[in-house]
Amino acid sequence: MMTQVDPLLAGRYRMGRLLGSGGFGAVYLATDERLHRAVAIKVCSTQRLPPHEAAEAAQLFQSEALTLARLRHPGLTAIWDYFSEGTDWYLVMEYVPGETLRDLLRRTGGPLPQAEAIDYARQLCSVLGYLHRQQPPVVFRDLKPANVMVTPNGQLKLIDFGIARLFSPGKLADTSQFGTPGYAPPEQYGGQTEPRSDMYSLGVVLHQMLTGHNPSTTPFALPPISALNPTVTGALETLVADATAYNIADRVASAEDFCARLDAATARPAPQLTHVVPRINTYTPTVSPNNPPTGRQPWAPAPQRIPSRPKPANGVGRAATLILLLIILFGSLGAGGWLLTAQLPNLRDFMQGGVVAAIPNTSGLPTLTLFSAVDQDGRENIYQLNLRNGQSRQLTHMAPNSRASQPAFSPDGSQIAYTRETRQQEGITNTGQDDISEVWVMDRNGRNGRRVLPSYPLARSAAWSPDGQWLAIEAAEAGRAWRDHDIVLVNVRSGEVQPLATTPSWEGGPAWSPDGTRIAFHARRNSRCMELFAAELATREATRLTDLADDTCSGTSSGDFWPDWSAQGLVFGRKQGGTEQLVILDTETGEYTPLSTGAEPAGHPRWSADGQHVLFEQGTGQGTALARYAIATSTTTMIDTGLPGSHLADWQ
């Protein structure tokens, strides 16, 4: 506790509210009046400590300052000043907004989404590797969720170096034994800590993120991950077990080794960019609107509306039955305690309509849809709608003059790519020439957002590869002419960028073929009409798929847009002659099949995974709404999102 709070500390810092406190001091939010920026000031007061403890606390505090002063890493807080006044010591640091990983885990009430946990572990592994490569190595010695900040964009930062030490290989024991039970390795209670000691703590933290288990309740005896979270792979469970071995000689050897094994345990095959069997040749498609292929009948019935809520009793009854079966089944196997501890929060969410995955989807019809809509304050955000119970939740919270749109589920449903746009002038919409447009990826719960393709000032309309490793993005480099957009590929994990379609024209709206060897997109090449093309990944050669006569297109918004690919063919929106309708193109035969979705304009279609339904946006008297078209019955059903102007949707 500070002995006094002066109006301006050291003549420049105006102290604010308390951010947190611990065994070695308190941290306050403050303002640097000289540089006009927010800072965090850590205060260590030794006034009430016995002399020997005061000297030890001051030494630890000074050690933290000197350690941080020479380190530079995105996972570390920057130090800007260090001084003492009377019996108080002050450390001025970068202010890191967000919440601690401990608070995040408490708020979640269970394991984190696996992709999020792995991303956090990878970030911690990176910063620990940096510390251990210093000469001499820096051992953090107190890695735990309370000492990790999670920023709003999903970046982790270590925030407490109070007991970090420089590793001396010849030393038999640490001078002082500090640490947190459950997270600290055995040698920290009377032996010599070294870099592998941090690997123990990292393994414990990863275990907690994957299972929700509090390690302080079972120090040195973590329950098997598979008993708490059966979805975790064996390789990942083995990595955690090796990192948390009781004997230091049996542990993962280094942070680099941990990172490599983490990548290997979670890797998926990369897309095939070097070999392809060509399937599309240049041809003139045969339009046969009056003779559609067998199995596709013109639409006849009037649209029907999905009920906004199912009967509550049915959902609760199914959940109660599921819980009872889990208790009987897993209790008899001796793992009921561990499993129910981890899964009851998910079952509770399911009873409230929050977790769709609790009920197996046997119908083939998607259960979740993502869409963008404008709220009452005029801000466009992304929402998630449960198609079974009608409940929705807001995933993004954009600032004024900003919008989030064009959401896209990753193939496994764990991540969402979307477009963030910031208007530089009032009244500019739809990515005007002076707007900022970026592609971001977030977890399916709306957390852990991070920008991809930062080297391009304009990026939008992301589409996932079938294996979830790549994004195809409509993008433009700095200095390009207005709407001179290209299609580029970016590896979500490594950030590698590969150009695909780069002509002096407008290419956009990419969509991957089901086998991952081609990408369809709309483009305006030597034509007034927007038309569809497909580029081979192996050769980068593009083939024209649709060919419209110029006199059928009026203005720059006419033609074929927003393709989406499935085994059934390409579905896309066609704006021509004053009408907007959906069309399916059979890429093998070149035949078109218009979909009779009604008299209102229809666009931005998206296939269901089984290729039997199409999600699309339909014009209404009040703007746009979402609807789905069933291929087998040729019927359209409106989807009630509860928000006017719902559009640019995806589903899973």
Task: State the catalytic residues.
Answer: 142
Give the Cβ contact number of residue 340 at 10 Å: 16
Contacts of 488 (CB under 8 A, 6+ apart): 453, 456, 472, 473, 475, 497, 498, 499, 500, 502
**Beta-bridge mates of residue 635:** 630
Question: Which helix (H) or strand (E) is 40 found in, with range?
Answer: strand 37-45
**Beta-bridge mates of residue 579:** 576
Q: Which of 569, 562, 570 is nearest to 507 (CA)?
A: 562
Contact 589, 551 (CB under 8 A): no
Contact 154, 125 (CB under 8 A): no
Contacts of 246 (CB under 8 A, 6+ apart): 186, 220
Crossing angle for the helix pair 195-211 and 255-266, to the nearest 10 degrees:
30
Strands 591-595 and 286-287: parallel
C-alpha angle 442/437/482, rounded to 5°? 150
DSSP code at position 291: S
Rounded CA separation 543/521 (Å) = 10
Laid out side by side, the sheet with 286-287 consists of 286-287, 591-595, 579-585, 569-576, 559-566
Tokens of 10: 């050291």
